[in-house]
């Protein structure tokens, strides 16, 4: 895949689990939500693995260790080894290790996942700015992370110690709703110091590099629910992507996606791994997919036909993205999406 602007969602004559050797799966909103497995996830992943596709779980959450994540997935009915889990803590630990001496002290603002990842790279986690750290690393530490930890980071960063962040997601889903994520905590230190961290997590290249190094994937497919992390990360890594509509992205957000947020494939859930993807083809002044034809006018996207709602959404995206070119789609697609029930 090239970085050129996608003008329409792609089709695949093969099941995606056959066309790609490794699925790089986001977790929240793709595999589980609120700790419970999403409908169709367990059986779809089992079928994809049985068919020869390797599965890897790629998360920006630096709090939990790979062992903990693997244990949770196994409890849900998805047998997983720790080596199949790649975290932003691992990506940022590698980034730091490439810039500091072996055995160097690193001030940790976050949870156990960061400490384990640093030790794996031969670095020594410390807790205070007065412990002579050569770097500061900040990752999600959970809702109980004390406010004083942000002050500790600020003291070290203000002294000129290099600052790293596992990721900058502003929010994180929880069983009770949307909570502040590591990006919100990073903003606290940024405001206090005026500094900028080096960031490792999705959608930036260090996370993609870490994933490829650990999985050895040759034909990877990124599978996610977020346009600004999963899909943009695939775009930056120049690999194909599947957006599933089980998380934060709905039809309206997808329709308005700028080029770097446009997935290769779109499906309702992880069952999309087990099937081919329908072709979206030019049809007159618009695009056709399944039983639907979509045409972009000057102010809105028109939809005609009937059939599967997802086919209509694919046709809508093709028309809207073509009209938008390298910009974001400003066309009104509300009426068309309402007709699809999206």
| Distance, first Cα to last Cα, the chain | 28
Of the residues 26, 169, 228, 230, which is catalytic?
A: 26
**Whole-number Å distance between alpha carbons of 204 and 33:** 24
The strand pair at 292-296 and 301-305 is best described as antiparallel
Omega before 107 cis (within 30°)?
A: no
User: Is 28 an active-site residue?
Assistant: yes
Tally of CA atoms within 13 A in the half-sphere of 16 that contains its CB: 29
**Whole-number Å distance between alpha carbons of 238 and 259:** 13
In sequence order, what DSSP letters do the residues of 83-118 get, joined into one string? Answer: GGEEEHHHHHHHHHHTTS-TT-EEEEES-HHHHHHH
Alpha helical stretches, state H, the chain: 16-19, 41-50, 66-75, 88-97, 112-120, 148-158, 182-193, 205-215, 232-237, 251-255, 309-324, 334-340
Query: Among candidates 180, 182, 126, 190, which has minimal Cα distance to 158?
Result: 190
**Whole-number Å distance between alpha carbons of 280 and 80:** 35
Cα dist. 200→5, 154, 165, 204, 270 in Å?
25, 19, 7, 6, 27
Kindly state the greatest CA–CA separation across the chain.
Answer: 69
Torsion (CA) 10, 12, 15, 20 in degrees, nearest 10 = -70
Helix, strand and coil in the chain, % to nearest 5: 40, 25, 40
23-46 b/e (C-beta count within 10 Å ≥ 16 → b): bbbbbbbbbbbeeebbebbbebbe
Give the residue numbers marked as catalytic. Answer: 26, 28
């Amino acid at each position: 895949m090239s970085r050129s602007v996608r003008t329409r969602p792609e089709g695949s004559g093969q099941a995606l689990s056959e066309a790609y050797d490794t699925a790089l799966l986001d977790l929240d909103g793709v595999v589980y939500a609120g700790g419970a497995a999403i409908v169709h996830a367990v059986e779809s992943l089992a079928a994809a693995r049985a068919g020869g596709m390797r599965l890897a779980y790629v998360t920006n959450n630096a709090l939990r260790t790979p062992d903990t994540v693997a244990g949770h997935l196994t409890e849900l009915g998805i047998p997983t080894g720790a080596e199949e889990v790649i975290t932003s803590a691992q990506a940022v630990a590698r980034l730091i290790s490439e810039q500091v001496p072996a055995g160097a002290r690193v001030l940790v603002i976050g949870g156990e996942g960061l400490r384990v990842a640093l030790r794996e790279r031969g670095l020594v986690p410390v807790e205070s700015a007065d412990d002579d750290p050569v770097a500061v690393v900040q990752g999600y530490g959970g809702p109980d992370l004390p406010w004083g930890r942000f002050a500790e980071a600020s003291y070290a960063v203000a002294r000129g110690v290099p600052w790293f962040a596992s990721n900058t997601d502003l929010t994180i889903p929880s069983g009770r709703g949307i909570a502040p994520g590591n990006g919100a905590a990073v903003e606290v230190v940024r405001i206090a110091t005026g500094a900028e961290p080096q960031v490792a997590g999705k959608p930036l290249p260090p996370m993609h590099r870490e994933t490829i190094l650990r999985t050895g994937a040759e034909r990877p497919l990124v599978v996610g629910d977020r346009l600004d992390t999963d899909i943009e990360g695939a775009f930056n890594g120049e690999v194909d992507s599947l957006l599933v509509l089980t998380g934060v992205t709905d039809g309206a957000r997808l329709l308005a996606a700028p080029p770097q947020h446009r997935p290769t494939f779109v499906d309702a859930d992880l069952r999309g791994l087990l099937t081919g993807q329908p072709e979206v083809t030019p049809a007159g002044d618009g695009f056709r997919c399944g039983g639907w034809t979509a045409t972009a006018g000057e102010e809105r996207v028109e939809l005609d036909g009937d059939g599967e709602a997802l086919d209509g959404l694919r046709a809508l995206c093709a028309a809207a993205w073509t009209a938008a070119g390298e910009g974001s789609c400003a066309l009104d697609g509300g009426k068309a999406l309402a007709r699809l029930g999206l």
